[in-house]
Amino acid sequence: MKSVVRPVLLAALAAGLAPAAHADLKPANVARQKAQIDAGLDKAYPHLDALYKDIHAHPELAFQETATAAKLAKEMRELGFEVTEHVGRTGIVAIYKNGPGPTVMVRTELDALPMEEKTGLPYASHATQMWQGKPSPVAHSCGHDIHMAAWVGAAQQLVAMKSQWHGTLMFIGQPAEEAIGGARAMIADGLFTRFPKPAIGFAQHVGPAPAGTISYRAGVNSSSADGFEITFKGRGAHGSRPQLSIDPVMEAARFTVDLQSVVSREKDPAAFGVAGVGAIQAGSAGNIIPDQAVVRGTIRSYDPQVRAKLKAGLVRTAKAVAEMAAAPEPVVNFDEGASAVVNDAAITARTAPVFKAAFGPKAIEAPGPGSASEDYSEYIIAGVPSLFWGLGGVDPKVFADYRARGEEPPGNHTPQFAPAPQPAIRTGVEAMTLAVLNVLGK
Ligand SMILES: [Zn+2]
Ligand SMILES: [Zn+2]
């Protein structure tokens, strides 16, 4: 225990946080604040519910979130925040100054996914937008709409409780989390130079755990992600005359299978790492051998060395399957990628007792990091020590029914992903408000 406590305190001092504030934490205070937030939420929830359902029914893709950003900007201006729009193209920054004290950043994402929603909910999305040159259905199947509603809800509660804290709130609405690039775009557009540099950052993500639960961990919280796109080149021919072709579909198929030998034979099996293909596009008819095939996929890891090994193995495998086919060298591109989110030990140690006091056994210390990825890591790399936690989204009764059948409820990025709005948003508001009060409280 001691060996943990000392670095935590040193880190807290380094981050400019007075460890004395720690001693103020009394479970009774947290319970009182939570009761106050709950009373506020009883009044505010119908508005948050309407906002959530409106955003859910009108999702927007990466860097196209103009209506979404405008809705949030309006909400925050009405609360008294000073709002700057178009930061990092479609992002927003909302500042609320309440006396001397550190700046705390609270981040939500704005974007949705290029996929069709199949929840059958009355407020389900029927939206379409352009995606990679073609119209695509759009859905909030990652739950960023839950985060937005909780973000507005936390801002409301913090403003209502402003006599209990001092400092500056910096609420940011980030574009393009799914496409990766929104956090970088905001930072490049002066997020930490045109606005106060936050001493602490918080964010949360809903997932297929029972609503009402919070999960957190110090250190690595989510994986690094690298998207790849490979264009295999061949020579087109009539399907009946394969001898005249160089078949790029064969190259794509071999690559898809052989990539798994990089994962299973080159990487340490004890180290987390995923490499897989999610999209293959080639050809137009069964009797035409096309002249190219495009393969897209993702690489996930926690460790930078594993990340480098998987990327190198992927490139080698792509080149080798092309050579086997006597095809030209394929074109391999990686996207900008996202690094692993690493939670700050001191902030985690400072916030965990608040979550425990507020949520009891529903506040869970996660045994290991998740395999999803987040470009929230960019803010941490830019020098904002942070805590990013998980928020349960599934109605506890529904969750129990799935488990009783030995199944998992539909998760993020599935067409059936359908968080239960009320318990998820309320818990998100409570957790975020309490976390901020704990670091800015008087
Ligand atoms: Zn997502
Ligand atoms: Zn997400």
pLDDT single digits (tens) 271-299: 999 999 999 999 999 999 999 999 999 99
Nearest to 93, CA basis, from 104, 102, 82: 82
Question: Both 419 and 348 in a single domain?
Answer: yes
CA atoms within 13 A on the CB side of 378: 22
Q: Give CA–CA dist 139/178, Å, rounded.
A: 12
Which segments of the chain have a pLDDT < 70? 1-24
> How much distance in Å is there from the Cα of 372 to the middle of ligand 1?
8
In tens, the pLDDT along 27-84 reads 889 999 999 999 999 999 999 999 999 999 999 999 999 999 999 999 999 999 999 9
> How much distance in Å is there from the Cα of 149 to the middle of ligand 2?
14
Question: Both 185 and 64 in a single domain?
Answer: yes
Question: Both 158 and 259 in a single domain?
Answer: no
Neighbours of ion ligand 1 (CB under 5 A): 142
- The amino acid sitting at 5 is V
Q: Is 418 a domain residue?
A: yes
Q: Is 356 a domain residue?
A: yes
Is the separation of the CB atoms in 272 and 371 below 8 Å? yes
Q: Is 5 a domain residue?
A: no
Question: Both 320 and 372 in a single domain?
Answer: no
Question: Both 119 and 50 in a single domain?
Answer: yes
pLDDT at residue 304, as a whole number? 86
Question: Both 160 and 236 in a single domain?
Answer: no
Q: Give CA–CA dist 56/418, Å, rounded.
A: 10
> How much distance in Å is there from the Cα of 189 to the middle of ligand 1?
23
> How much distance in Å is there from the Cα of 26 to the middle of ligand 2?
33
Question: Both 298 and 400 in a single domain?
Answer: no
pLDDT at residue 180, as a whole number? 84
> How much distance in Å is there from the Cα of 414 to the middle of ligand 1?
10
Q: Is 132 a domain residue?
A: yes
pLDDT at residue 24, as a whole number? 59
Domain interval for residue 269: 224-334
Question: Both 290 and 436 in a single domain?
Answer: no
Ligand nearest to the CA of 206: 2
Ligand nearest to the CA of 108: 2
Ligand nearest to the CA of 113: 1
> How much distance in Å is there from the Cα of 376 to the middle of ligand 1?
12
Residue 278 zone, left/alpha/beta (φ > 0; ψ -120 to 50; rest): alpha
Q: Rounded to two decimals, what is the model's pTM?
A: 0.84
User: CA torsion angle for 299, 302, 308, 312 (degrees, to 10)?
Assistant: -30
Q: Give CA–CA dist 125/147, Å, rounded.
A: 17
Ligand nearest to the CA of 109: 2
Ligand nearest to the CA of 147: 2
DSSP codes joined into one string, 156-192: HHHHHTGGGB-EEEEEEEES-STTS-HHHHHHHTTTT
Question: Both 305 and 414 in a single domain?
Answer: no
Q: Is 360 a domain residue?
A: yes
Boundary residue ending a domain (334, 359, 381): 334
Q: Is 4 a domain residue?
A: no
> How much distance in Å is there from the Cα of 286 to the middle of ligand 2?
37
Question: Each residue of 330-343: b (16+ CB within 10 Å) or e?
Answer: bebeeeebbbbbbb
Looking up residue 240, the CATH number of its domain turns out to be: 3.30.70.360
> How much distance in Å is there from the Cα of 178 to the middle of ligand 1?
5
Boundary residue ending a domain (334, 349, 380): 334
Question: Both 312 and 417 in a single domain?
Answer: no
Ligand nearest to the CA of 388: 2
Q: Give CA–CA dist 120/419, Å, rounded.
A: 13
Q: Give CA–CA dist 235/240, Å, rounded.
A: 14
Pairing type for strands 82-87 and 91-98 reads: antiparallel
Looking up residue 429, the CATH number of its domain turns out to be: 3.40.630.10
Q: Taking each helix axis from N to C terminus, what angle separates 248-261 and 304-324, rounded to the nearest 10 degrees?
A: 150
Q: Give CA–CA dist 301/305, Å, rounded.
A: 9
Question: Each residue of 423-432: b (16+ CB within 10 Å) or e?
Answer: bbbbbbbbbb
Q: How many C-beta atoms lie closer than 10 Å to residue 368's C-beta?
A: 11
Q: Is 8 a domain residue?
A: no
- Contacts of residue 406, defined as CB under 8 A and 6 or more positions apart, other chains included, come to none
> How much distance in Å is there from the Cα of 140 to the middle of ligand 2?
9
Q: Is 3 a domain residue?
A: no
> How much distance in Å is there from the Cα of 62 to the middle of ligand 2?
12
> How much distance in Å is there from the Cα of 114 to the middle of ligand 1?
11
pLDDT at residue 28, as a whole number? 83
Question: Both 205 and 82 in a single domain?
Answer: yes
> How much distance in Å is there from the Cα of 300 to the middle of ligand 2?
15
> How much distance in Å is there from the Cα of 221 to the middle of ligand 2?
14
Boundary residue ending a domain (290, 309, 334): 334
Alpha helix (H) residue ranges in 325-420 = 345-359, 377-381, 396-404
Question: Both 119 and 29 in a single domain?
Answer: yes
pLDDT at residue 383, as a whole number? 97
If DSSP states are collapsed to H, E and C, what string results for 369-386?
A: CCCCECCCHHHHHCCCCE
Domain count, the chain: 2
* Share of the chain residues as helix, strand and coil, in percent rounded to the nearest 5: 40, 25, 30
> How much distance in Å is there from the Cα of 136 to the middle of ligand 1?
17
- Give the 3-state secondary structure of residue 326: coil
- Which residues, in sequence order, are bridge partners of residue 206? 391
> How much distance in Å is there from the Cα of 373 to the middle of ligand 1?
8
How far is residue 255 from each of residues 243, 263, 284, 303, 377, measured CA to CA in Å?
A: 21, 13, 20, 24, 30
Ligand nearest to the CA of 341: 2
> How much distance in Å is there from the Cα of 5 to the middle of ligand 1?
34
